[in-house]
Amino acid sequence: MTTDETPEAGKTAAQGATWSASRVLDILEFLNRRSSPAPASIIASSCHIPRSSTYGLLNLLRERHFVTYHSAERGWSLGSGVFELSVHAPLFAHGLAVLRAFATVSHGLTERQIAEGAGMSRAAVARILPHLVESDLLRSAPDGTYSLGLELVGLASRVGWVDRLRLIARLHLVRLRDATQETANLIVLDGDHGIYIDQVESPHALRHSGWVGRHIPLTGTATGGAFADRGVAHTVQDAVETGVTSIVCALTSSADPAAVGVTGPNWRIEEFGIARAQGIVEAVARELDQRLHR
């Protein structure tokens, strides 16, 4: 035997649905502001959602392709389903996904193969391909296949120094991470922002990861202070993320503006000793600077 739903029960169910919908929007808006994958714990704290509920919502969104989980970074980002909601001008993320489909091949790809490699629908791929061809980022062949365009060659030549910097700096970042037990970062200037181009993660369970490719403003941040006052470690709390301390020191004589630093929870870096951490960061910056100019 069944009973009719009471008005109070219906009201409670409606409130629960509204809460869930609101939290879903909070998650999507948060990830839209990110330039790199975010761990579930950061999403939960930033959106003020219980961690258990966050995992459930993220898995539901992943089933619909609205978010994607990156196992290497152990973080979440917006998925292709979100981008495909835009039926007009294709978004940058579409083009980036399409170009990444060519990362492991040396031959032309069909539209179907690009869609499979990019994890997108053929309709979304079809919308972005003409824009990439027009920009010479892709080249179309008479047989209906596409290959990388010459514009990418020019772009690659401009970032060759970044590859050299990352290669040389890697050992120094490991040393910095081991000495402080916090995530070590390599940062370069990109206009009026800094961009994280490499990172070695802290061994702690609570750590900051997935920041490679992330842009941060120079105003009010340790990175901005470091590039304005090279060779000296600058420390700022709660600028990039709430509860996070960033300590950064820019190289003094590098022809290409670069800096090294650490990021970690405020309380843990305070326990370690801010002055102590600053000294280690400055020492590693000097070592890297000398290595680059041998």
* Per-residue pLDDT tens over the stretch 201-218: 999 988 877 788 888 889
The least confident of 15-24, 177-186, 283-292 is 15-24
pLDDT, greater one: 236 or 190: 236
Which whole-number Å values give the CA distances from 16 to 9, 11, 13, in the listed order? Answer: 11, 9, 5
**Model confidence band, residue 9 (pLDDT cutoffs 50, 70, 90):** very low
β-sheet bridge partners, residue 36: none
User: What's the rounded mean pLDDT across residues 284-289?
Assistant: 94
Tens-place pLDDT, residues 143-154: 999 988 877 766
Tens-place pLDDT, residues 220-277: 999 999 999 999 999 999 987 889 999 999 999 756 689 999 999 999 999 999 999 9
Q: Give the Cα separation of 294 and 287 in Å (integer).
A: 11
* DSSP element (H, E) containing 44: helix 40-47
- What is the rounded average pLDDT for all residues in the chain? 83
Q: What is the longest distance spanned by two Cα atoms in the chain?
A: 85
Enter the DSSP assignment of 5: P
Q: Give the Cα separation of 253 and 267 in Å (integer).
A: 33
Would you say residue 2 has pLDDT above 80?
A: no
Enter the DSSP assignment of 109: B
Which whole-number Å values give the CA distances from 20 to 39, 106, 161, 199, 228, in the listed order? Answer: 20, 45, 47, 35, 45
Q: Give the Cα separation of 57 and 26 in Å (integer).
A: 11
User: What's the rounded mean pLDDT across residues 47-62?
Assistant: 87
pLDDT, greater one: 71 or 46: 46
Q: Residue 176's pLDDT is what?
A: 96
User: Sign of dihedral through CA atoms 114, 119, 124, 129?
Assistant: negative
Residues with Cβ within 8 Å of 162's Cβ and at least 6 positions away in sequence, in order, are: 188, 197
**Mode of pairing for the β-strands spanning 215-217 and 193-200:** antiparallel
**Model confidence band, residue 10 (pLDDT cutoffs 50, 70, 90):** very low
What would you report as the CA-atom Rg of the chain, rounded to the nearest whole angstrom?
Answer: 23
Angle at the Cα of 178 from the Cα atoms of 170 and 243, rounded to 5 degrees: 100
The structural domains of the chain, ordered by start, are 7-78 (1.10.10.10), 81-155 (1.10.10.10), 160-292 (3.30.450.40)
Give the tokens for residue 21: 């919908």
The burial of 138, by beta-carbon neighbours within 10 Å (0-12 exposed, 13-18 middle, 19 or more buried), is given as buried
The phi, psi pair for 121, rounded to 5°, reads: -75, 155
User: What's the rounded mean pLDDT across residues 55-75?
Assistant: 85
Long-range contacts of 45-54 (CB under 8 A, 24+ apart): 46/241, 46/242, 47/23, 49/23, 53/23, 54/27
Q: Residue 1's pLDDT is what?
A: 40
pLDDT, greater one: 89 or 159: 159
The listed range with the strongest mean pLDDT (37-46, 69-78, 116-125) is 37-46
Would you say residue 3 has pLDDT above 50?
A: no
pTM over 0.95: no
User: What's the rounded mean pLDDT across residues 41-60?
Assistant: 88
Strand ranges inside the chain, DSSP E? 67-70, 75-78, 138-140, 146-148, 183-190, 193-200, 215-217, 234-237, 244-250, 258-265
Q: Give the Cα separation of 223 and 235 in Å (integer).
A: 9
